[in-house]
Structure 1
Amino acid sequence: MDLWLTLAVMAGAVFLFVTEKLRVDVVALLVAVSLLVLGVVTLPEALSGFSNQATVMVAAMFVLSGALQRNGALIAVGDLLARIRWKWLFLLVMMSLVAGVAAFVNNTATVAVFLPLVLAATTANRWAPSKFLIPLSYISQAAGVCTLIGTSTNLLVDSMAREADAVGFTLFEFAPLGIVFVGICMVYLMTVGRLLLPDRGVPGSATADHIGRYVAELLVAEGAAVIGRQRSEVLPDGSNDVTVLEILRNGAAVRGDDVRVEAGDRLLLRGLWQDIDATRKSMKLKFDHVARDLDGDLNAERLHVEAMVAPGSHLIGHTLAGMRFGHTYRARVHGLHRRQLGIRQPLDQVPLHVGDVLLLDAPVKAIADLRIDRGLIVMGSRAQRKVDTTKATLSAIVMAAAIAAAALGWMSIVASALLGCVALVVLRLLDPDEAYEAIDWRVILLLAGIIPLGIALQKTGGAVLAADQLINLVGHYGPTATLAAIYLMTSTLTEFMSNNASAVLLVPIAIATADSLGVDPKPFLIAVAFAASTSFATPISYQTNTMVYTAGNYRFSDFVKIGMPLNIIFLITATLLIPRFFPF
């Protein structure tokens, strides 16, 4: 019965991860609580994720990475990029720098730092950012597998392996194979990838406009031409692909074929921004002029600014109304762009997600506040904060010392990372509040909540059952074929759900498969770690993909076209090389 209950919880978790009906951290906690209530795991086992080495280590690495980011240690890198005037050299240098950083700094934080730098440099040179942003995401993922601390997935696999089978990895044990993956990724993106990357134009030029499709909320003023029209009659001929999503009245959608537009209603429209704006002008609709006290000087120059909700942003999960966005940033939201535009409510009531882009109407003076806010990434030219050379240097030294102490065997990587965090606070390179803010607590809760599922799979025999089925299918072809199957399973799952969740599901199966075949589990664990950390074929598979998807104005098919061949190349490479570096 425990086995069937575990499989039912796992199936529900996979469904929720893939459909994104709930946030991944909420799903993970729901999994842990469900297994505890059903009696599959004990209370200590349900809470073991919070004391797990991987969870603690990931939190510590967020703090160490946050110090580098906050003190401007990487801004000099942006200055170097800005001076390059050849596209091929810019791409090569950018990927080399990102690879060097992402091997030791969380790759999501790395992309968050490099994204505005690349946008600013490409726009200044009149190059299409879409030619460079997918490579930025892909190389950060490939570099993350070079060290044990490069991604949270590597740490998670290591921790689960140590607890289950006393098999672990050293800090640089991944490096030989990881460097090969980075080299292959760079060669592919410099050759075939360059031909496949789309040209979406230069922001602000005649060949490009605002990013993607927006949802805008427009007020029907007295005397507007649409008053009295039914929903199907609202848009005039020639409105291109603008769509009426809802008619909002008193904050709620009104539906029905006989509903007619009234003065004071709001129309929720979706389309390219230039089409929405043309429709607004032709129909004499207005942006709702909320927060009139923000007007200030009516003659002051105002700008449209596109700002992305950054990973780990304090805005995530909150609504514009709930956080009094207009007063906080002295800006009004005119439109919202989201990867999945299933918005059917007033914009100020929509909980924000990572990767959302807000089209803001703001005075020039307010732009500076937007640029320094860590929760937003301004998509246009982004002024950089002044670098505190002393703090930036000391932050880099602390990070290097923490890595060196673990690499030389003086102490465990967890101990050295925690000591590094303490050093940052004691040296006042970060204050305690900044250290807490640097941690992406959604990732921590995801790890803590999903680890009990791996324990349940091992306790109930679910992992052995899956391993037996896998061996029945491909085991007679030998351990190499089985390794390829595990890599393919992990890679496929990761394209549609959290990489950490897919690793938790596959690690017990990998260990059970190795036991059944009577071989060393390390090659199979390496396959899980590498496959879960390199997700190229969809924009929803990894946070870095989601960030560049929005910023580069890509289409879903761009990732399939460019990422799928790279996934296949990595699968073949892993199948051939993992047994050479980690014999069975």
Structure 2
Amino acid sequence: MPNPELWITLAVMAAAIWLFITEKLRVDVVALLVMTALLVAGVLTLPEALSGFSNQATVMVAAMFVLSGALQRNGALVAVGDLISRIRYRWVFLLVMMGLVVAVAAFINNTATVAVFLPLIIAATTANRWAPSKFLIPLSYMSQTAGVCTLIGTSTNLLVDSMARESAGVGFTIFEFAPLGIIFVAIAAVYLLTVGWWLLPDRGTPDSDDAHHIGRYVAELLVPAEAPVVGKRPNLAVPEGFDDVDLVEVLRGGAVVTDPQRVIEAGDRILLRGEWKHIQAARKAMKLAFDRNTRDVDDGARDGRMLMEAMVAPGSHLVGHTLAGMRFGHTYRARVHGIHRRRLTIRQPLDRVELAVGDVLLIDAPANAVEALRVDRGLIVLDEREQPKVDVPRALASVAIMAAAIGVAALGWLPIVASALLGCLALVVLRLLDPDEAYDAIDWRVILLLAGIIPLGIALQKTGGAAMAADGILRVLGPYGPLATLAAIYLMTSALTEVMSNNASAVLVVPIALATAESMGIDPKPLLIAVAFAASTSFATPISYQTNTMVYTAGGYRFSDFVRVGMPLNVIFWISAIVLIPRFFPFHP
């Protein structure tokens, strides 16, 4: 009969999975709650509960954030991405884009890679009159697939390696994934160039004279006393001929007017939804006004104003905060005229909306305030054509330090953690990054997620939960051999990753994979590779991976687009893994 500690662990795990799937709390908060619950319940000792903070995967991921941050800060990634903006042939553009993304994302955090390439690809496709929706899903998918080519390609690879080393004494070298990973990259590329290209939606070619083409915004507009909509019911407020503009809500005193007999009064605020050019036309016809109550926003008016789109980036300091709460207008000297959100309808004042990853803000700012928006790591400016200049000596030095850190580890002179930390110190000593920039480069949410969720894997092993799951797998699949077990492990990990954090799914499945391998008397590496590859490649939903969320908004995709394009690729990868993994990593070496 299972012991009480196992029941507690399973209850904590079930609660964590529910919170990860429902997104009731941020993933890093959930992870820390898991760690704390297991400690308070006595399942883990204090050193075990805190072991995630000293785990080599956690330290290594932080170091890689700093190393990749230097490349981004000094313009190395911009220089690479800028190459594609000069290509005028669509198929050449697609091939070069894929090649560059793979070369970068195999070593650099794929979220940072997509953040750099995203505005460049939008600009290039706009200039060439191509539909961005034909290129942005390939950008996300190839950046994910490239991550499985090296040990440092994703935090998931490092996590799987670290857990395997600590629990079973087995691990991977920095390029041990490469032969198999390159084949998966080729499979993804062929798919996206053939069947995938046919399945990719064409959401239209943006007008190069209208940079603001991301999608349907919600704008909040003030009703002046002289506006012709005063005294009208909301369903009659939008003039005829503006079928593309919807009146979402009427706000009075910051609250939604719910009376069905309501009429619009002077001083009310109206939420309009539609493409920006249509909202602008309707605003003029209805004689509505933008809010002008922030005086310091107008300081740069004499220098000209710019209208730009900026996406809330993964790990942004804006996530979970409101425009009012962070005093956005005063901080950036800019107004947010509209918010574009793919998943939920906005029905409250824009300054009270809690921002989420992938939200696109339509920002009106003076020209002299644009630079502050461009360099903010929490925002990805999508329609700013001018890119920061590359500091060639500093960029080359940053690349050299990254290459040296990888080379020293690959040659076996130092462990990868030691070489990466030395690389970080070199960046600071040589002033390629100052200490504050190094700290800012780290996505602390990922670090806390790793530190908090790793103890759950320890608890599963310690209490026998992993062994119990392994026994269940053996009872069902044991008669069919290790190949069926590998297929099940890959499928389990892939399914979990589509609905929750990839690192969390790896933590749950790695202990099961190790216990299963031990029970079957086979090498655990094939099962560990299955976990790493399945957790690092999530294609079927726009919320399964941060890069999918980023292009979901920017490409104007529908949820079903990812299912239609990504699900077949998931199945292809699953079949390929069953066939190829045992050839590169035999069950019985």
When normalised by structure 1's length, the TM-score is 0.95
Shift of 1:243: 4.5
Cα deviation, residue 552, structure 1:
1.4
Residue 406 (structure 1) aligns with:
409
Deviates more, 1:194-203 or 1:329-338: 194-203
Residues 1:391 and 2:394 aligned together = yes
2:93 aligned residue: 90
Deviation at 1:260, TM superposition (A): 4.7
Residue 111 of structure 2 is aligned with which of 104, 108, 112? Answer: 108
Decide whether the 8 Å contact of 1:81 with 1:94 is kept in 2. yes
Structure 1 residue 181, shift from structure 2 partner: 0.5
Distance apart, 1:305 and its partner CA: 1.3
Counterpart-to-counterpart distance in 1, 2:450 and 2:109: 15
Q: Which amino acid aligns with 1:451?
A: I
Deviations 1:195-239 (A, max 9, x none): 222222333359996312222222222244444555666556665
- Identify the residue that residue 355 of structure 1 maps to in structure 2: 358
**Aligned pair partner of 1:542 in 536, 541, 545:** 545
- The one-letter code matched in structure 1 to 2:559 is F
Q: Which residue of structure 1 lines up, in the alignment, with residue 462 of structure 2?
A: 459
Matches within 5 A, 1:115-514: 115-205=118-208, 210-228=213-231, 235=238, 240=243, 242-257=245-260, 259-296=262-299, 301-514=304-517
Distance 2:211 2:308 in 1: 15
Q: Report the Cα offset of residue 540 of structure 1.
A: 0.7
8 A contact 1:306–1:380 mirrored in 2: yes
Cα separation, 2, equivalents of 1:515 and 1:260: 71
Inter-CA distance 394–297: structure 2 relative to 1 (3 Å threshold)? closer
Measured against aligned partners, the alpha-carbon deviations of 1:459-482 in whole angstroms (never above 9, x if no partner) come to 222222222222233222111011
Amino acid at match of 2:462: K
Deviation for aligned residue 1:317: 3.1
Q: CA deviation at 1:79?
A: 3.5
- Aligned partner of 1:507: which letter? V
Deviation at 1:273, TM superposition (A): 3.1
- Answer yes or no: is the 8 Å Cα contact 2:212–2:383 preserved in 1: no
Aligned mates of 1:96, 1:249 — CA distance in 2: 53
Distance 2:79 2:282 in 1: 44
> Cα–Cα, structure 1 residues 66 and 43, in superposed 2: closer, same or farther, change >3 Å?
same
CA offset digits 1:375-401 (Å, max 9, x no partner): 322211431212111111111111011
More deviation in 197-206 or 347-356?
197-206
Shift in CA distance, 298/386, structure 1 to aligned 2, threshold 3 Å: closer
Q: What CA deviation, in whole Å up to 9, does each residue of 1:499-553 have, x standing for no partner?
A: 1111111111111211222211111111000000001111111111111111111
Report if aligned partners of 2:296, 2:333 keep a CA contact under 8 Å in 1. no
In the alignment, does 2:29 pair up with 1:26? yes
Range with bigger deviation, 219-228 or 418-427: 219-228
Note if contact 2:409-2:416 (Cα within 8 Å) is conserved in structure 1.
Answer: yes
Unaligned runs of 5+ in 1: none
Q: Letter of the aligned partner of 1:568 in structure 2?
A: V
Please tell me the residue identity of whatever aligns with 1:212. Answer: G
Report deviation, 1:166.
1.3
Determine the C-alpha separation between the residues in 1 that align with 2:183 and 2:547: 21
With 279-288 and 451-460 compared, the bigger mean Cα shift is at 279-288
Query: Which SS does the other structure have where 1:333 is aligned?
Result: strand
Q: CA separation in 2, counterparts of 1:375 and 1:398?
A: 26
Contact 1:152–1:500 (CA<8 Å) still a contact in 2? yes
Letter in 2 for 1:48: S
Q: Distance in 2 between matches of 1:207 and 1:128?
A: 14
Query: Once structures 1 and 2 are overlaid, which stretch shifts more, 366-375 or 211-220?
Result: 366-375
Distance 1:206 1:564, change over 3 A: farther
C-alpha distance in 1 between matches for 2:472 and 2:242 = 56
- Figure out how many residues of one structure are paired with residues of the other and give that number: 584
Q: Tell me, what secondary structure is at the counterpart of 1:89?
A: helix
Contact kept in structure 1, 2:144 and 2:537, CA below 8 Å: yes
Q: 1:334 to 1:175 in 2, by over 3 A?
A: same
For the residues of structure 2 that align with 1:272 and 1:117, how far apart are their CA atoms? 22
Output the aligned Cα RMSD.
2.2
Moved more, 328-337 or 420-429: 328-337
* Matched-pair contact (CA < 8 Å) for 1:60–1:421: yes
User: Which segment is superposed worse, 516-525 or 438-447?
Assistant: 516-525
Check whether the contact 2:81–2:116 (CA below 8 A) recurs between aligned residues.
no
Which residue of the partner structure matches residue 74 of structure 1?
Answer: 77
Q: Contact 2:300/2:366 (CA < 8 Å) preserved in 1? A: no
CA distance in structure 1 between the partners assigned to 2:166 and 2:258 by the alignment: 56
Segment drifting more, 45-54 vs 73-82: 73-82
* Alignment counterpart, residue 575 of structure 2, candidates 572, 575, 578: 572
Residues 552-577 of structure 1 show CA distances to partners (whole Å, capped at 9, x for unaligned) of: 11111111111111111110110001
Counterpart in the other structure of 1:59: 62
Q: Take 1:7 and 1:246, find their aligned partners in 2: how far apart are those partners? A: 45
With over 3 angstroms needed to count, the CA separation of the structure-2 counterparts of 1:76 and 1:205, relative to structure 1, is: closer
The one of 515, 521, 531 equivalent to 1:518 is 521
